[in-house]
Chain A
Amino acid sequence: MANTVMMSKLHAIRRQEQITAGIFLLPAAILLLFVFGYPIVRAFWLSFFAKNLATKLQPVFCGLDNYARMVGDGHFWQSFWIATTFTTASVILELLLGLGIALVLNQKFWGQGGVRTIAILPWALPTALMGLAWAWIFNDQFGVVNDILLRLGIIKTGINWLGEPTLALLATIFADVWKTTPFISILLLASLQSISPDLYEAHAMDGAKPWQSFYQITLPLLAPQILIATLFRFAQAFGIFDLIAVMTGGGPGGATEVISLYIYSTVMRYLDFGYGAALMVVTFLLLVLAVASASFLLNKSRIAAK
């Protein structure tokens, strides 16, 4: 009898706590609703309307017309492939470099603290300003890159880095790798430090060589972090705007026009709000899909590790 009273009291207290927790969470939930929920729902809604110059900027319902138009839109596919190329190249390079840097920084050496601070510096600098800096570094007349290559005698005349389609894309990838490799190396460094040195000691006693330890201990234990880092970088790189907008503006001739720049043009230059919303929705869904499948992989690898 007393026991059931206790139980119901406990229940009451627990419910009370849940309500309190709910009240405390409410402001954050409302904020999220306005900051994330509203724009997403609004973009979905708008993507079923024609709202552009032909309709005098008034929304006119058009069903799935905007999505049908996307299929035959060469510009969309071009920017989509450029974004994919950019993302793939920069994420792979960043992972390799980031892992290398993390392994070096994990070693004990003199001035380690200073080097670690410097290593994260590019990531801490504002992207738009760095875009401008890189545009000057790659400038065909006054750029540092051409100056160095000319002095070394590798080239005879200055290369117009940002004026040639392939070179311009390479230059933006280079700048992005420089900017965001530190993010990956810091993330990986943190998890490297959580790996117990005992493991390596025991492994070495068993007669394993350092590269065997790397493959058999370091990489498997780092796998979840690598996947998380890739996920973060993938989402960021695919939606990159500021760096490229400042460095090349999408040029020359659209060679570096990634999808977010195309969406920007569609909305801001062409004033095609409905179609812009449809582009945004598709990009959003693709990203969600990519992130979801990656986290599915992550879960699977965790289960496998256990």
Chain B
Amino acid sequence: MNYRLLKNLFSVVPTRFKQLQLSAIVILLAILLSVFTKWISPAQTAKPVVLNLLMTAPDAQPWKEGLVKRFEEKNPGIRINIIEGPNATNLLEDLYTSAFILGDSPYDLVNMDVIWTPKFAAAGWLMDLTDRMTAKELAAFSSWDVEGGRYEGRLYRIPMRSDVGILYYRKDLLEEGGFAPPKTFADLIAISQSLKQQNKVNWGYLWQGRQYEGLVAMFVEVLHGFGGFWIDPKTLEVGLDRPETLEAIAFLKQTMQAGISPPGVTTYQEEETRRIFQSGQAAFLRSWPYVWPLANAPDSPIQGKIAIEPMVSASGENGGACLGGWGLGISKSTRYPQEAWKAIQYFTSEEAQRQFVLKAGFVPSRRSLFTDPQIVAKYPHYPQLLKVLEKAVLRPPIAQYAQASDILQRYLSAALTNRLSGEKAMKQAAQETRRLLGKS
């Protein structure tokens, strides 16, 4: 043992000790103060209940300015704390997931994309809301939006914002050429070819072909239009290797081979297709409602020249419109379920949605608002949008949706870019999906 070191150590102690004493007093005071503020002061000023809600930063703005302010005015005891997340929904999903996996989630309200609902519900992270709303109350919402909030028959999400796949077309060009809006896939191709031959447009039809969730959303519509299905949520039967699926792939490939869709379409997401359509270079576009206000902006070359229709289908079949959209649920770990339910009731109410729609241009989930005079005055296409919404198709509401979608994305992309034949790709996709669902 080094005794000198020990001695040195002890010689330091007295001065150190004084410092320690001082800091001990400071710490003690701090503890007393925090105890005082935590236990004694709430008795004097009742602290409001704070509900945490996570969403993408751009979404947060209209919420904060309108919805939250009004709600807090009406409910002085409750405060809504909006947490601004990254501007990518998959990152948002990751943030929710990691919070829930750890158990004690900091979020009281859950702002959910329609495709997350089954997963969150199956994992047991959401409160069952089935008995909180009567059938009559639910009937005021568009039925597919409500359906998107159910998992195995129970309700976990109240729809707030709807979103649906639409076929946009150039009204001016079709009228000029004497065409009625297309009803079938064959119409779509014929009109496109004719307009292209007359050099009215460079491209006929634009769709999203990159390997990502948007590809699946687009494909679900074409598949439905041919009478096929992806996964039956009740029986978990997989329909990817059926002839209808191959017809749907053949149609998409035909659009590229016939020069109706640009060859780069297999790398496009929504924004690439919108830019081409908005610059006036294409006759048809499959996209979401967000395109309307942008394409009709004063500086848009196609302002006032577009109209919408539900997605076309094979003759004798029904066109489908892929349903997206957001809704609210309650986290199972929240300490304030009553307050959270109050907030959901307000945010999904007719009054709140009207404000929200007028301010942010989103699509409501309540049917009455599509024909609301105030809203129609601002967005004249909403009554037509309701027609599209009635043809909505849900992506399969199964717990393992993310994985199933991932499988379809990979094999569909391989088929569309000719890395695999459609038949082989879908056979493998069906096989992997069946294995995933325990059906093989």
Instruction: State the A residues within 8 Å of B (CB).
Output: 52-54, 56-57, 69, 72-75, 78, 163-164, 251-254, 265, 268-272
Contacts and interface: CB of A to CB of B under 8 A. Distances in A.
Interface stretch (B237-245, B249-257, B279-287, B428-436): B428-436
A265 B403 CA distance: 9
Contacts of A69: 435
B432 A270 contact: no
A269 B97 contact: yes
A268 B435 contact: no
Given A53-B119, A53-B400, A74 B211 contact: no
Nearest to A164: B267
Contacts of A54: 399-400, 437-438
A271 B119 contact: yes
A72 B435 contact: yes
A250 B139 CA distance: 42
A268 B98 contact: yes
Contact of B410 (A52, A75, A163, A265): A75
A74 B428 contact: yes
B122 A163 contact: no
A75 B411 CA distance: 10
B232 to A, nearest CB: 16
A269 B402 contact: yes
Interface of B: 90, 93-94, 97-98, 101, 119, 122-124, 210-212, 267, 399-400, 402-403, 406-407, 409-411, 413, 428, 431-432, 435, 437-438
26 contacts: A53-B122, A53-B400, A54-B399, A56-B124, A72-B432, A72-B435, A73-B432, A74-B411, A74-B428, A75-B406, A75-B407, A251-B212, A253-B210, A253-B413, A254-B211, A254-B410, A265-B406, A268-B97, A268-B98, A268-B101, A269-B93, A271-B97, A271-B101, A271-B119, A271-B123, A272-B403
Contacts of B432: 72-74
A272 B119 CA distance: 11
B267 to A, nearest CB: 7
B119 A57 contact: no
A253 B214 CA distance: 12
Contacts of A74: 410-411, 428, 432
A253 B212 contact: yes
Nearest to A270: B403
B94 A56 contact: no
Nearest to A73: B432
B124 A253 contact: no
A254 B411 CA distance: 12
A163 B211 contact: no
- Most B CB contacts (10 A, CB to CB) among A52, A53, A252 go to A53
Nearest to B236: A54
B406 A57 contact: no
A11 to B, nearest CB: 25
A252 B97 contact: no
A57 B210 contact: no
A53 B403 CA distance: 11
Nearest to B215: A253
A75 to B, nearest CB: 7
Contacts of B124: 56-57
B94 A268 contact: yes
A252 B431 CA distance: 24
B135 to A, nearest CB: 27
Nearest to A267: B101
Contacts of A73: 432
Contacts of A272: 400, 403
Contacts of B400: 52-54, 270, 272
A202 B93 CA distance: 66
